[in-house]
């Protein structure tokens, strides 16, 4: 006797491809499950099942990407300490906003694009590597990334 076929649902002589939506994605998708009709013939339904499941999983993947982008653009709450991943994400997002503003800003006659690779000195790169690896002293950390930490404190995130 054959086992149950995954994602295949039979109701009233009709077959459907069905995938349950994880609870975290339900607000984005607006449903508890995704389904697609496959017809009344079991053999044809079994042949069409993999393609239907792929289409339904593409919807889930899109919802996961949307959930991830919402999470990364969420601003940290004021007066709350941030953990290390939150600090890194918030700092990266702030730097991206500065970069986007510089790239999309108006171009004027006195516009002088900066060669950032020239400004990013090897010494600073090495200092950042020491901080990231946890080998830097408190004074080295303050000298290397103190300006960014001061910015978080000014925004209410100690």
Per-residue pLDDT of 80-90, as tens digits, reads: 777 777 777 77
For 18-50, b/e burial (b = at least 16 CB within 10 A) is bbebeeebeebbeeeebbbebeeeeeebeebbe
Per-residue pLDDT of 87-109, as tens digits, reads: 777 777 777 777 777 777 666 65
Taking the C-alpha atoms of residue 49 and residue 38, their distance in angstroms, rounded to an integer, is 7
Residues 37 and 63 in one domain: yes
Q: Note the Cα 62 to chain centre separation in Å.
A: 11
Residues 84 and 142 in one domain: yes
Residues spanned by the domain of 134: 76-154
Residue where a domain terminates, one of 29, 55, 72: 72
Taking the whole predicted model, whether its pTM rises above 0.75 is answered as no
Taking the C-alpha atoms of residue 151 and residue 158, their distance in angstroms, rounded to an integer, is 9
Residues 88 and 42 in one domain: no
The answer to whether 89 and 146 have CB atoms below 8 angstroms apart is: no
Tell me the sheet residues that pair with 14. Answer: 11
Each residue's pLDDT, cut to its tens digit, for the chain (158 residues) gives 467 899 999 999 999 999 999 998 888 888 999 999 999 999 999 999 999 999 999 999 998 888 877 655 556 667 777 777 777 777 777 777 777 777 776 666 555 556 555 666 677 778 888 888 888 888 888 888 887 778 777 877 76
> Is 2 within the bounds of a domain?
no
Residues 95 and 30 in one domain: no
Return left, alpha or beta for 79; rule: phi > 0 is left, psi -120 to 50 is alpha, else beta.
left
Sign of CA dihedral 144, 150, 152, 157: positive
Residues 29 and 45 in one domain: yes
Residues 16 and 64 in one domain: yes
Token pair 């970069």 in the structure block, residue:
99
């Amino acid at each position: 006797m054959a086992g149950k076929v995954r994602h295949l649902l039979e109701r009233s002589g009709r077959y459907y491809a069905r995938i349950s939506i994880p609870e975290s994605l339900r607000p984005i998708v607006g449903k508890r499950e995704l389904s697609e009709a496959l017809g009344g013939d079991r053999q044809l339904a079994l042949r069409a099942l993999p393609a239907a499941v792929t289409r339904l999983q593409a919807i889930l993947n899109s919802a996961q990407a949307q959930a991830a982008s919402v999470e990364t653009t969420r601003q940290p709450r004021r007066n709350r300490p941030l953990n290390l991943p939150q600090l890194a994400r918030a700092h990266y997002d702030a730097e991206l906003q500065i970069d986007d503003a510089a790239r999309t800003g108006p171009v004027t006659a006195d516009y002088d694009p900066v060669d950032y690779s020239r400004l990013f000195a090897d010494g600073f790169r090495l200092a950042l590597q020491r901080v990231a690896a946890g080998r830097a002293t408190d004074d080295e950390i303050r000298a290397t990334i103190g300006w960014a930490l001061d910015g978080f404190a000014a925004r209410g995130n100690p």
